[in-house]
Structure 1
Amino acid sequence: MSAPSESIAGESGIAPGALTRWRNAELVAFALGGVVVAAFGSRLPSIQSSLDVSKAVLGAAITGVTLGALAGLSAAAWIHARFGARRGVGASLVVSALGLGVIGMSADLARSVVGVTTGLVLVGLGTGTLDVLINVEGAALERAAGRTLMPLLHAAWSGGAVIGGALGALSAAVGLAAHLQFALEGAAVVGAAVYVVRGLPAVAVEVDARPAEIGSRRDRFLAWCRTWSSVRLLLIGLVMLGAEFGEGSANSWLTLAARAEHHHSDAVAASYFVLFAVGEMSARLLGSSLVDRFGRVAVVRVTASAGVVGMVVFITTDAWWLTAVGTVLWAIGVSMGFPLGMSAAAESGPNSAARVSVVAAIGYTSSLVGPPVVGLVADRVGLLDALWIVAALLAVAAALAPAVRARVGAIAPSSP
């Protein structure tokens, strides 16, 4: 069975070798983004110890990542238009690596909260900008290749996050100082950035065939503001909101819910977090072939619906194996909304970078806002009952799945 109305058509005429280099560069770029954002998370206890500050102060410093990411998301469209993807992606990776170095030196050597916060802002700025640029490139790569690749690319990000977290845990276990770990990782990111830049096309491949608006800086800003009035973009954003709210809530509350509410041991509760990460990555690895066969709408609808079922199972049952089943379905539920929403936004009209920045801002804001909202509600009704919010938003995402349908004219059958 195929979905001819939603298969992506290759129409670039790019040589197969160049296309392979482009794809590999994108995979590495996505993985590097995951490595960077996960690198410092596992070292927060040692950073707090070095700074000798309370959790509240450390939490305030971590908001620097949020502020930097929002600035990066906002600036990405201008950077893409002004400098192009190659230079923008390379610079974003360098800024991210620099941020890691500043965090490590400020924590271990200078003992400066301001310095750590500055480093976190740089990490957020670099990864926020990077995320928009590589998703725009990913959508263009899909069009050039004639098949769905975005879920695979986002699986690389998930894999990078697993690697980054593992490197942090290993470094902490062997007693490697955070500033040395971050310096080594930062150097590796810069080195890999050279490979990424060389693999990206020198000339931009626009996702949408219609010309982007050209004019003064004021005209471009107004054009970006007008993208926020696009009903379709906002609907795509709501699909991504449900997925990102669910993922952010899992990252913050899944383990605690399993331990405190379901009364599983610390080891079992921790294993659910690993199960969630592996489940999400596995769903994304399989997602590309499923989208090419059944279409974006069906995949988003089915996965989001599976997430709703998973939330019901997770919330209402206590048996360890049912909690595990609920966790896997939860992971599947949040796996596809973001990458397929990015694809849909990029091809929805001219100036794909601006359009991606709009839906990315919606998605990332929900990921950041989701955990504290669940926490506030949990204080009143309990953590498990608060997680019904995730179930409701995934149900909304399933209902709005048609918003991610491929645009007519940008697609064609990839197989008979």
Structure 2
Amino acid sequence: MDNIVSPSTRVDARSRLATRLSFLVAGFGLACWAPLVPFAKTRLAVDDGALGLLLLCIGLGSVTAMQFTGVLTSRFGSRLVILVGGIGMAATLPLLSIAPTVATMGATLLAFGAFLGVIEVAMNIHAVEVEKRAGRPLMSGFHALFSIGGFAGAGLMTTALSASVPALVGTLVATVLMIVALIIAAPSFIATTKEDDTPLFVIPRGIVALLSLLTAITFLVEGAILDWSALLLTDAGLVAAAKGGVGYMVFAIAMTTGRLTGDAIVARLGDRRTMMLGGLLAVVGFGVLLVAPDAIIAMLGFLLIGLGASNIVPVLFRQAGAQTAMPASLAVAAVSTIGYAGILAGPAGVGFVAHAVGLPAAFTLLAVLLCLVPLCARCATAIGATSGDHCNRDEPDHS
């Protein structure tokens, strides 16, 4: 009798699998687009400036859709919204490989970005509810699946294009895989609470505003390392230009590893200590990177930043779902929107700072901003707080 698995346990296992699949699909679909960018530039015959404006369409579509996804999830439940976002991404992906004009590509990227924004918010809302019902940390593992999906998507598309498979064929294969995954997941999504009187737009307030700010800072760090780490290494003469991307590779592997082990870490340390120690580790990593005399020490810096930052965002999303200042769905949507805005606008801001005072100084500013994470860990993890006044209380850690 001890080996019998209860129906509730089976349901929990299925809902966790469905959530993981939704994160996997989102990361996979987004990463499938990256290898298509050079082909799109050639097909459309545009310069780097025009291409940059086109790429901005993904971010604009995502941020715009995110603002309304919390409301849609409140009214219709996360299952339907996840499926709409995921299937929309899958259906739009092949169009990115054949859009014949700048206008059609821009419109397609807007739609692709919007569907991405929809699934990203809805799957995090669903993840918060699944974690609550499970009664133990799961958020880091869910976010790890997004990274794994990214590796898989980029790998699949790069392999296909390298084998001279037409881009349209490769994207159609990716579309089929995404839809199959969503079909498998669909019956196991849990029914989240629906509210018909949810306002169309809500400004983050109380603890949610702090959680959103910290998420934006963490995403800003991720975006800056993606866009600027290679140049930082090559300008310092630490690596050759051809190997400039190795720093981000180390960072990405460290972040994925940290998230795969993050749920166990949070269960042992609690949200507060995880956030505090993770933030400190990432800040130390920046210090190591900025004073590194050679490539090996610089890679150690990227490793520490990736490990330290890996579980900060999952903790912040968990706290957004647990606070009582706003409905959980709207809070998660706010954290997603402002955080994603950070990863979009941040790298451009780093560029402006770097132009004025140099790239090392810009990365030093990132480290200073990141100091807010450990400094605000106590406040940000005051579960149930409705205002900043609760930050002054010595509350216990929660896992």
- Normalised by the length of structure 2, the TM-score is 0.91
Contact 2:22/2:185 (8 A) holds in 1: yes
Equivalent residue number for residue 374 of structure 1: 350
Distance in 2 (alpha carbons) for counterparts of 1:361 and 1:402: 23
Name whichever of 332-341 and 399-408 sits farther off. Answer: 399-408
Deviation at 1:147, TM superposition (A): 0.4
CA distance in 1, matches of 2:168, 2:151: 20
**Higher mean displacement: 51-60 or 268-277:** 268-277
- Supply the distance in 2 between the matched residues of 1:406 and 1:95 (Cα, whole angstroms): 37
**2:391 is aligned with 1:402:** no
Letter in 2 for 1:132: V
Q: Which residue of 2 aligns with 1:33?
A: 26
- Structure 1 pair 150/266, CA: closer, same or farther in 2 (3 Å)? same
2:139 aligns to what?
Answer: 150
Residues 340 and 404, structure 1, Cα contact 8 Å, conserved in 2: no
For residues 230-261 of structure 1, the C-alpha deviation after alignment (integer angstroms, 9 at most, x for no partner) is: 22111111221221110010111112211222
Q: Report how far residue 120 of structure 1 moved.
A: 1.2
Contact 1:280–1:334 (Cα < 8 Å) also in 2: yes
* Deviation (angstroms), 1:214: 5.3
> Distance in 1 between the 2:397 and 2:239 partners?
49
Contact 1:236-1:403 within 8 A present in 2 as well: no
Q: Given the alignment, which residue of 41, 45, 62 partners 1:48?
A: 41
1:392 to 368, 378, 395: 368
Query: Aligned with 2:77: secondary structure?
Result: helix
Q: 2:268 aligns with which of 293, 311, 314?
A: 293
Q: Take 1:64 and 1:414, find their aligned partners in 2: how far apart are those partners?
A: 39
Counterpart check, 1:220 vs 2:199:
yes
Alignment of 1:5-84 (within 5 A): 15-84=8-77
SS of the equivalent of 1:220 reads: coil
Give the secondary structure class of the aligned counterpart of 2:239: coil
TM-superposed CA distance for 1:172, in Å, is: 2.7
Counterpart CA distance in 2 for 1:405 and 1:413 is: 8
Higher mean Cα deviation, 170-179 or 143-152? Answer: 170-179
| 1:15 aligned counterpart, secondary structure | helix
Contact 2:143 2:314 in 1 (8 A): yes
Residues 251, 273 of structure 1: 8 Å contact kept? yes
* CA deviation profile, 1:18-59 (whole Å, cap 9, x unmatched): 110100111111011111111111221121111111011111
Report the CA distance between 1:363 and its aligned residue.
0.7
Q: TM-score when scaled to structure 1? A: 0.87
Per the TM alignment, residue 79 of structure 1 is displaced from its structure 2 partner at its CA by 1.5
In structure 2, what is the Cα distance between the partners aligned to 1:64 and 1:147? 38
AA aligned to 2:80 is R
Q: Report SS of the residue matched to 1:65.
A: helix
Partner of 1:164: 153
Counterparts of 1:357 and 1:334, CA distance in 2: 21
Whether contact under 8 Å (1:22, 1:199) holds in the other structure is yes
Whole-Å Cα distance in 2 between the matches of residues 95 and 290 of structure 1? 35
Amino acid at match of 1:133: A
Matched, 1:306 2:281: yes
After TM superposition, give the deviation of residue 351 of structure 1 in Å.
2.4
Identity of aligned residues (%): 23
Secondary structure of 2:244's counterpart equals helix
- 2:207: which partner in 1? 232
Can you list the C-alpha shifts for 1:322-342, whole angstroms capped at 9, x where unaligned? Answer: 001001112123212211111
Identify if the C-alpha distance between structure 1 residues 414 and 316 changes in structure 2 by more than 3 Å, giving closer, same or farther.
Answer: closer
Do the aligned partners of residues 199 and 66 (structure 1) sit closer, same or farther apart at CA in structure 2, a change above 3 Å counting?
A: same
Q: Describe the SS at the equivalent of 1:147.
A: coil
Deviation at residue 87 of structure 1 after TM alignment: 1.1
- Structure 1 residues 165 and 403, CA, compared in 2 at 3 Å: closer, same or farther? farther
Question: In the aligned structure 1, how far is the partner of 2:231 from the partner of 2:176?
Answer: 35
Over 3 Å counting, the alpha-carbon distance change for 1:413 and 1:234 in structure 2 is: closer
| Selected match of 2:117 from 128, 137, 144 | 128
The amino acid that maps onto 1:352 is A
Matched, 1:118 2:107: yes
Q: Is the 8 A contact 1:72 1:125 kept in 2?
A: yes
Q: Which residue of 2 aligns with 1:9?
A: none
Deviates more, 1:175-184 or 1:335-344: 175-184
From 232, 247, 250, the equivalent of 2:222 is 247
Distance 1:167 1:20 in 2: 28
Please state how far the C-alpha of 1:178 moved relative to its aligned partner: 2.0
**Structure 2: unaligned runs, 5 residues or longer:** 1-5, 386-395
Question: Corresponding residue for 1:269?
Answer: 244
Establish whether residue 186 from structure 1 lines up as the match of residue 161 from structure 2. no
User: 2:298 — aligned with what?
Assistant: 323
Unpaired segments ≥5 residues, structure 1: 1-12, 207-211
SS at match of 1:175: coil
Secondary structure of the residue aligned to 1:40 is helix
Whole-angstrom distance in 1 between the partners of 2:349 and 2:45: 28
Asked whether the 8 Å contact 1:242–1:334 carries over to 2, the reply is no
Higher relative contact order (Cα pairs below 8 Å, separated by 6+ residues)? 1
Q: 1:128 to 1:88 in 2, by over 3 A?
A: same
Tell me how far 1:271 sits from its aligned partner.
2.2
Amino acid across the alignment from 1:152: G
Q: Provide the rounded CA distance (Å) in 2 between the counterparts of 1:38 and 1:131.
A: 14
Q: How many Å separate the matches in 2 of 1:156 and 1:163?
A: 10
Equivalents in 2 of 1:42, 1:272: separation in Å? 19
User: Partners in 1 of 2:24 and 2:351 — Cα distance?
Assistant: 30
- Output the CA distance in 2 between the equivalents of 1:127 and 1:99: 10
Q: Which amino acid aligns with 2:43?
A: S
CA distance in 2, matches of 1:62, 1:177: 22
